Amino acid sequence: AEVDDGSCQSAGCCNSPHPSAGPHAEAEQRSAAMRMIQKSQTIKVPEGVTLDIKARCVTVKGPRGTLFKNFKHCPVDIYKVSANEVKVEKWFGNPKQAASIRSCCSHMLNMITGVTKGFEYKMRFVYAHFPINVAIVEKDTVVEIRNFLGEKIVRRIKCHDGVTVKRSADVKDEISLFGNDVEKVSLSCALINQACHVKNKDIRKFLDGIYISERGVIGGRD
């Protein structure tokens, strides 16, 4: 009688996943086959800006202030090649891990832009009948919205730290948000926008709200 010793008889059997392994095993095998040896990207640090790196924690200092960001969740190496050049690299990573290289570089470039030029977001009031009244209080850090769709409730939105709000002098029904951290500026705009969502009505007809109309650096587009 023949005895099955469990050995594999076909040449290509060991390389292919077991039929019962499922799609996850196939994805892992494809990922292992697509691993790259090394991938990197460098960014330039302009004059007047200091960029310090310690254990994937980046601190950027410039004329407008200081920004800090923690990149420990990213599986990459960040170090300075020279005084004005930073390199982000990944060894033996899959495509998803390698994609975080450009993300880290984009974050650091936004930090450099923030401490040199600053970010400005403009928002416009949209209404059909009931005018939206906006008051800026507490040293330009809190926005109070009244008369949205004729409601008596006062919507009060506190901006994130380092973000200030100004009413545009030359454009009616417009406010501008300024700050060094693009994430905090954009999140503050999102809070203002979400506070004016229309409920229990057809949003195709009731378009009232406060929306972002323009974004870029302070004084003009990037």
Tell me the per-residue pLDDT of 162-188, one tens digit each, with 9 for 90 and over: 999 999 989 999 999 999 999 999 999
Rg (the chain; Cα; Å): 26
pTM (predicted TM-score): 0.80
pLDDT of residue 210 exceeding 60: yes
Is pLDDT above 80 for 107? yes
Question: What torsion do the CA atoms of 173, 181, 190, 160 make, to the nearest 10 degrees?
Answer: -90
Q: What is the amino acid identity at position 89?
A: E
At 31 the pLDDT is 56
Q: What's the rounded mean pLDDT across residues 132-148?
A: 95
pLDDT at 36: 83
DSSP state of 96: H
